[in-house]
Amino acid sequence: MAPRAQIDAEVPVSTAGRSIHSGALVVAVMIFAGCLEPALNVTTDQRDQVGEDLLSSPPAEMDQTLDVDFDGKVRLLGYDIKSRRVAPGQRVEVTWYWSCTKATGPGWRLFTHVIDDEGTSRLNQDKQGAIRTNFQPEHWRPGDVIRDRQLIEIPPAWSSPVLELRVGLWKKEDRMPIRSGSADDAQRARGPRITTNPAPARAVEVPYTAVAPTIDGRFADEAVWQGAARLAPFGQTMNGRPVEQKTAVRLLWNPKALYVAMEAEDDHLQSRFKNHDDTLWKEDVFEIFLDPKGDGKHYYEIQVSPAGVVFDSYLPAYRKNRNDWSSGVQVKVARDGSLNNRLNVDKGWRAELAIPFAALDRGGDRPPSAGDKWRANFFRVDVTRRKPVYSAWSPPLRGDFHALKKFGDLVFGDPPRATTHQVNDADPGGDRLLATEKLK
């Protein structure tokens, strides 16, 4: 879910400037209609659903006491936290304590954002917990004290050394303004800061190949690809979790090119783009990002669709695409299914690429040597019959394929060493010839 719009200014409800007619009954009606926002009707059964989480008074002690005032209607009193250290894939147990001082009116709900060390909101946990399911603020009555328990799962691919929880109230595109207390400029109360042991960055050694692959899209049984590096399984870009339709990628290199073979499971092949540098990312596509110096200041983006159309771009800075650059990539696509036919059930597609290092020469870039390390990432957009699925080799854990700090490492392997091995008849295990062995 995208971050909600920030409130520009607090607009309190007031009767100032209104014409008040005489008569106690009229005044009472005006005050009720114009000033007060009553809580939605809640049955006894609904209130019973939250059970022991509807408290008679705040707890005597909390791990952290707060007093964050949301527009004079709701207060965040504090929280309890199970542990301030978690590992990726584990859960954070946090309990928030709220009180209602004035009915919020319909539509107001709680949100929880998980923030990384760069201040970026990486996860929304708005609906996690019994209170979020059964008893949102629109149902609260003045005097209610609410215990809001959440169990928040940290993605296995979490890569930030810390995380912070921030909470607030939202309604459509608005957030309830904070009058006082510890908060950021997005109307979010600051919760606990938790130390994590981030997952290690993705890294792979790319083997050297003396024999260049034949770029024909039929690499599955080709001998040269048998010794290729195979990337770890792709995970969802936002949380690193597995995807249903898998992507497999192999890599090789020599001084001329980086060779990439991609195989994708796909039951619905869709890409209607026909022209070079069309907006391929809006439908099925495989994407390669290369940052040779690893400085995040300039990098290359190459995409190929199941129709065999290519998009390529040089970026001298973050998202500053220069599409007049050409990668000179050699690419061939093979499909197991029919393109753009919603009635057909497809099986998948393959793409084989040779990316010449000669074209990756911007900003002083040079072809790699053995032992060099480049930053890189690989993505896939899969337009299913339901909704698009975005996955990556090194998931950025945010909605940004250009998250350069989340790229993995390509380490270029050494060429095989050649040695002359004399074989003669006295060598019982020999091959009866003078051979040059490739030591791997």
| In-domain check, residue 283 | yes
Tell me the CATH number at 40: 2.60.40.770
Is 405 domain-assigned?
yes
Same domain as 406, residue 280: yes
Domain end residue (candidates: 170, 196, 222): 196
As a whole number of angstroms, the distance between CA 357 and CA 299 comes to: 13
CA distance 315 to 365: 13
Q: Do 290 and 360 share a structural domain? A: yes
Contacts of 147 (CB under 8 A, 6+ apart): 52, 53, 54, 55, 95, 96, 97, 131
Q: Give yes or no: residues 98 and 210 share one domain.
A: no
Q: Are residues 168 and 185 in the same domain?
A: yes
Q: How far apart are the first and last CA of the chain?
A: 48
Q: Give the containing element (helix H, strand E) for 78.
A: strand 74-81
pTM comes to: 0.67
Q: Which long-range contacts (CB under 8 A, 24 or more apart) does 34-40 make?
A: 36/103, 37/13, 37/102, 37/103, 37/104, 37/105, 37/106, 38/103, 38/105, 39/103, 39/104, 39/105, 39/138, 39/139, 39/140, 39/141, 40/106, 40/138, 40/139
The distance of Cα 362 from the centroid of its chain, to the nearest Å, equals 29
The answer to the question of residue 2 being in a domain is: no
Query: 294 and 228 in one domain?
Result: yes
pLDDT digits (tens, 9 = 90+) for 320-378: 999 999 999 999 999 999 999 988 899 999 999 999 999 999 988 889 999 999 999 99
Q: Is residue 439 a part of any domain in this protein?
A: no
For residue 35, give its domain range: 24-196
Answer with the residue of higher pLDDT: 180 or 418.
Answer: 180
Asked if residue 138 and residue 29 are part of one domain, the reply reads: yes
- Residue 82 carries which DSSP code? S
Interatomic CA distance for residues 392 and 395, integer angstroms: 5
What is the structure's pLDDT at 41?
58
Same domain, 290 and 387: yes
The dihedral sign for the CA sequence 259, 265, 266, 269 = positive
Report if residue 210 sits inside a domain: yes
243 within a domain of the structure (yes/no): yes
Token digits of residue 37: 């926002």
- Whether 114 is covered by a domain: the verdict is yes
48-75 pLDDT, tens digit each: 777 889 999 999 999 999 999 999 999 9
Q: How far apart are CA 83 and CA 234, in angstroms?
A: 30
* Same-domain check for residues 238 and 191: no
Q: Are residues 185 and 52 in the same domain?
A: yes
User: Which tens digit of pLDDT belongs to each residue from 148-162?
Assistant: 999 999 988 888 899
Answer whether residue 89 is part of any domain.
yes
Q: How many structural domains does the chain have?
A: 2
